[in-house]
Amino acid sequence: MLHLIADYKGALTVNGKDFANIDEAIKAFSDYQGQLTISIKPTVVEPKVDKVFKVTVRQYMTKPATPEFDFHTKWNNDTPMPMRTMVGKIVQETKGMFKMELHGDITEKVTDHCLVCGRTLTNPVSKYFGVGPECGNHSYINPFETEEQLRQAVAEVRKQLQNVMWNGWIIKSAIENMEELI
Ligand SMILES: [Zn+2]
């Protein structure tokens, strides 16, 4: 009987005895044959607030509101997301939406899609910057003579991206990719 809820994570009471978790309850009642009265305490939902996510949204989340798509008017003070890929925390959740506090960031050594517009990046310098020449307003040609200069330039771009902030509601179905950053 208790094995049926073996995946349950919280505390529970079985026949009047409190247990911190299901494993302890199973152990205590392993030889017991009679009837079990199980009461489960409401699970404390693990807060996601401490977790940091990288979220990539479909392009329409970065477009200004239109009469056909007035989501940003209704939920985000008419402020669309400034970048397709951003980093931050979930502060609220509904069935269909996340409210997130986001900022731009370079999270990998090389990035394959422009963090701002989502276009494929081909130029090596752009890949280090995480943004294409248009979105990042930089040159296609590698202007750096040393690895160190490049690293400094990347750090500079990263700082700029980190200053791009956006707080608001994201439609879950508009999320192309979402991963927890460790
Ligand atoms: Zn771009």
pLDDT tens sequence across 44-94: 555 556 899 999 999 999 999 999 999 999 999 999 999 999 999 999 999
Instruction: Give the CA dihedral 101, 104, 105, 107, nearest 10 degrees.
Output: 70
Alpha-carbon 111 to chain mean position: 17
* Long-range CB contacts (within 8 A, 24+) of 127-130: 128/153, 128/154, 129/153, 129/154, 129/157, 130/106, 130/157, 130/158, 130/161
CA of 126 to the centre of ligand 1 (A): 9
CA of 46 to the centre of ligand 1 (A): 36
Nearest by Cα to 158 from 106, 80, 118: 106
Residue 42 has pLDDT above 80, yes or no: no
Q: pLDDT-derived band of residue 116, with 50, 70 and 90 as boundaries?
A: very high
Greatest alpha-carbon pair distance for the chain in Å reads 78
Q: What is the pTM of this model?
A: 0.71
CA of 29 to the centre of ligand 1 (A): 60
CA of 171 to the centre of ligand 1 (A): 22
Residue 108 has pLDDT above 70, yes or no: yes
pLDDT, tens digit (0-9, with 9 covering 90-100), for 150-169 = 899 999 999 999 999 999 99
For residues 135 and 62, the answer to whether their CB atoms sit within 8 Å is: no
Residue 1 has pLDDT above 90, yes or no: no
For residues 84 and 116, the answer to whether their CB atoms sit within 8 Å is: yes
- The reported pLDDT for the residue numbered 50 is 81
> What is the average per-residue pLDDT within 114-133?
94
Helices marked H in the chain: 22-28, 71-75, 124-129, 133-136, 147-162
CA of 93 to the centre of ligand 1 (A): 29
CA of 180 to the centre of ligand 1 (A): 23
